[in-house]
A and B are shown apart, each in its own frame.
Chain A
Amino acid sequence: MIFSRFKPFVYLFRQPRHSVGLLSFILLMALFNSTAQAVTARQFVDLQQGDSAFKGYRRAHAKGICIQGAFHSNGNLAEYTFARVFSKGTSEFNGRFSIAGNNPYAPDLKAPVRSLALNFAMSSTQVWRIAMNTPPVMAVTNPTDFYQQLQAIKQGPQAIKSFFKQHPESQDFLNWKSGYTATNSFAEETYHSINAFYLIDQQGQRQAVRWYFKPVSGDTKHQAFEGDNALQQELISRLSAAPVRFDWVFILAQPKDDENNPAKRWPAERKHIVAGQVEINQWQEQLKGACHSINFDPLVLPPGIEPTQDPILRARSAAYAESYHRRAKEALKGAFEEADNE
């Protein structure tokens, strides 16, 4: 009889004290089950850090340089958001230029992706963290596919080729890639939010946006550098002459644009608004600057800006937290003591 298999359960119902144990067991199993199928933050960061992690450093974008500067808002975005940073005026920030990869000593010019991250700490209750990359879109739309993309990159050109073939949604990314040439300078790249966010206005209306930082070219010619630290040296040399400037440009989505899809570019005719100019004027080595302690989690947002449901955006927060937790523990255990004694 099939019921004989359930004898232990009948016993449990007669013994209430055991059913408590059973109940907690079922709850635990449900918990594990719900997380078992999807890629976890740990798996993700394990893949990023590779076989030997650089203790105390970020697991992704490990190599970078700290910066400081100010954003001069022209007030053009203020009708779309009550975020204080976009009312007319100046907000100071600190931040970080970095290159993709897990190696804090990697050669600058070989990295496929460059990044600019900012931290606006406007007050103790208003903070905005921004993490931008050179590509305008992701190749994929969810963290599981992104995990497989990273695996394919590690496996080599053949694997990544067949990965893109299986993922037609990567078309916009591939189009961008074929037209992109890396420059010799952090200051001459365009940096994109990639994911979309909502601007919230005084009436509570929301507008989906993406944004990018567009380099403002100065008049002076700049020397190109070579070697492992070419990008950092170039930046330092520029900053010794003049501030590095970017226009902060917002792209406004139309209702038919899917703000939750980070792989799809919005049509070029969408409204663009220049919200003001970002001016970078100081730098520090990353271990000596304020940026090293900061987790540039793009979901740290001030009132007036809210996240979309974009699965990659949501996943970034958890993955960054896992990376931050790992290096924070290492920092607590004195990962940089040797460096400090030098």
Chain B
Amino acid sequence: MNNHPLKFSLSMRIMHWAMALLIVAMLAAGLSMVGSLDPWQFTLLNLHKSFGIFVFILVLIRLALRLKSRLPELPKALPSWQKLAARSTHSLLYLMMLLMPLSGYLMQYFAGRPINVFDWFYLPASIEVDIQAFAFFRELHGYSALALILLIIIHVAAALHHHFIRKDSVLRSMM
């Protein structure tokens, strides 16, 4: 029965915190660059796109890690609605982590703009430009970003709630 570890595996913990930093940086970059006319905007935009590809690959690795490792259990005393909330938040976080780079790439694809990945190679774009498909994925990208920000706030608030109010081991299992 008790074969659940107390902590997430080291690889999953590293992945979690590294991606947390990357994703917050991506969101900050995304939000600041859509409004800016400053010369750094173009440079930041290219970095945002390149790192977007990088994060997408990381998400896939992370999902694989998650599926093959044993995970710590949620505290037994946790009410079932909170367990359900925790599971759905985590699933939605993964969904958004996948949707963000996919919608980001597809909006560029349909706008006919190849993505220069770290000055290393180009991701292909459609030769024919489809402005409606662009609009769909551009909107999806924007709303997914808002959903992701909301989910991160819920996620952080829940982690702090476990640590400081319930005083259980949930946050420590990721440390």
Contacts and interface: CB of A to CB of B under 8 A. Distances in A.
Interface of A: 16-17, 20, 27, 31, 34-35, 38-42, 44, 119, 121, 124-127, 143, 290, 292-295, 297, 299-300, 303, 307, 309, 311, 314-315, 317-319, 321-322, 324-325, 327-329, 331-332
Given A17-B160, A35-B35, A318-B36, A124 B135 contact: no
A125 B122 contact: yes
B28 interface: yes
B31 A31 contact: yes
Contacts, number: 109
Contacts of B35: 35, 40-42, 318
Interface residues of B, number: 38
Interface string B82-126: 000000000000000000000000000001111000000011111
A34 B32 contact: yes
B49 interface: no
B127 A331 contact: no
B132 A124 contact: no
B136 interface: yes
A309 B42 CA distance: 10
A121 B112 contact: yes
A124 B42 contact: no
11 contacts: A34-B32, A35-B32, A125-B114, A125-B123, A293-B129, A318-B41, A324-B134, A328-B134, A329-B138, A329-B139, A332-B132
Interface in B51-67: none
A67 to B, nearest CB: 15
Contact of B135 (A315, A321, A328): A328
A300 B125 CA distance: 12
B156 interface: yes
Contacts of A311: 38-39
B34 interface: yes
Contacts of A17: 160, 163-164
A125 B117 CA distance: 11
Most buried by B among A41, A124, A300, A315: A124
A40 B41 CA distance: 11
A38 B114 contact: no
A27 B127 contact: no
Contacts of B139: 329, 332
Contacts of A328: 131-132, 134-135, 138
Interface of B: 28, 31-42, 45, 111-114, 122-132, 134-136, 138-139, 156, 160, 163-164
B138 A40 contact: no
Contacts of A309: 39
A297 B123 CA distance: 18
A284 to B, nearest CB: 14
A57 to B, nearest CB: 12
A315 B37 contact: yes
Nearest to B31: A31
Nearest to A325: B138
A127 B112 contact: yes
Closest 3 pairs (CB-CB, A-B): A124-B124, A328-B135, A125-B122
Contacts of B132: 328, 331-332
A84 B38 CA distance: 30
Given A127-B114, A307-B42, 4 more contacts: A41-B34, A126-B122, A127-B125, A294-B112
B120 to A, nearest CB: 11
B125 A41 contact: no
A330 to B, nearest CB: 8
Contacts of B131: 292-293, 324, 327-328, 331
A321 B108 CA distance: 11
Contacts of B126: 124
